Amino acid sequence: MIFTDDLADTIDALNLRFTAGVRAELADLTRFLTASLDWLMVEHFQFSSRNTSFLATAAGTAAAFVDKSIEAEIRRNLAEESGHAQMYKRALRDIGIEVDARLEFPPTAYFFHKISGLLTPDPSRMLGAMYATETAAIFEHEVFRDISKEVITRRSADWSGSRLKQFHDMHLSGVEQSHKDELGKFLHGLSVPTVAMTQAGGGRTIDAARAHDGANNAIDAMTLWWHDLLSEAYVADSRRSAA
């Protein structure tokens, strides 16, 4: 278990361990058939399309905090995300990928079930989970930018003017970094396990141990989801290669 005297740094270290593992598996995209890379994007789109409902739930849970700026930040994030799933869907359609033609992939449904379970009812657990997923969003846009570039290049289509490039670049030019940083402000300086839950003025303050637990659970859920996604991609590739 990783602990530092700064909860945001602790969660970052946990996240880095998870993302470094996935990045290593995706370092050489030539290992994957195009159909599998297309499929990975369709599954990532599922998160994009659920994101606003996760944020709305999280904002409702954050209302229990004494510090109202936590809810305000999540609502700012929610407003910013509105319309993004449609943009992503259109960008994928440009290269011939129809997200609605998808077959259900149970690990994705299971992942969403676990994330949604972390967003309510405990506000500290929600805050830790949200910080972890917003941090991972930067990594996701980076790897899916690379995947997009790879499949567009394989299709001999135009990458530099593509909506997929615009979509990922827009997120990577500060949007996701600010989602992470603005939530991180509430977690910097807290440490686990020295900070105990306190109740103040009819509302909740941040319980660092619970926030850590929420982040840890969210990162475990993301690690498992990515493991399942990549396993499925490998299996589908070998099936297609054998056909």
Binding interface with Fe ion (CB under 5 A): 81, 84, 134, 137, 176, 179
Rounded Cα–Cα distance for residues 50 and 78 (Å): 11
Rounded Cα–Cα distance for residues 46 and 109 (Å): 9
Nearest distance from C-beta of residue 119 to Fe ion, angstroms: 14
For every residue of 134-198, DSSP letters joined together read HHHHHHHHHHHHHHHHHHHHHTT--STT-HHHHHHHHIIIIIHHHHHHHHHTTTTT--TTTPPP-
Nearest distance from C-beta of residue 151 to Fe ion, angstroms: 20
By beta-carbon proximity to Fe ion, the closer residue of 122 and 176 is 176
97 DSSP 8-state letter: -
By beta-carbon proximity to Fe ion, the closer residue of 49 and 191 is 49
By beta-carbon proximity to Fe ion, the closer residue of 73 and 176 is 176
Nearest distance from C-beta of residue 71 to Fe ion, angstroms: 16
Nearest distance from C-beta of residue 141 to Fe ion, angstroms: 8
**How far out from the chain centre does Cα 137 lie?**
4
Nearest distance from C-beta of residue 84 to Fe ion, angstroms: 3
By beta-carbon proximity to Fe ion, the closer residue of 122 and 134 is 134
Contact (CB, 8 A) for 240 and 35: yes
Rounded Cα–Cα distance for residues 222 and 161 (Å): 31
By beta-carbon proximity to Fe ion, the closer residue of 177 and 205 is 177
Task: Identify any residues that bridge with 80 across adjacent strands, giving them in sequence order.
Answer: none
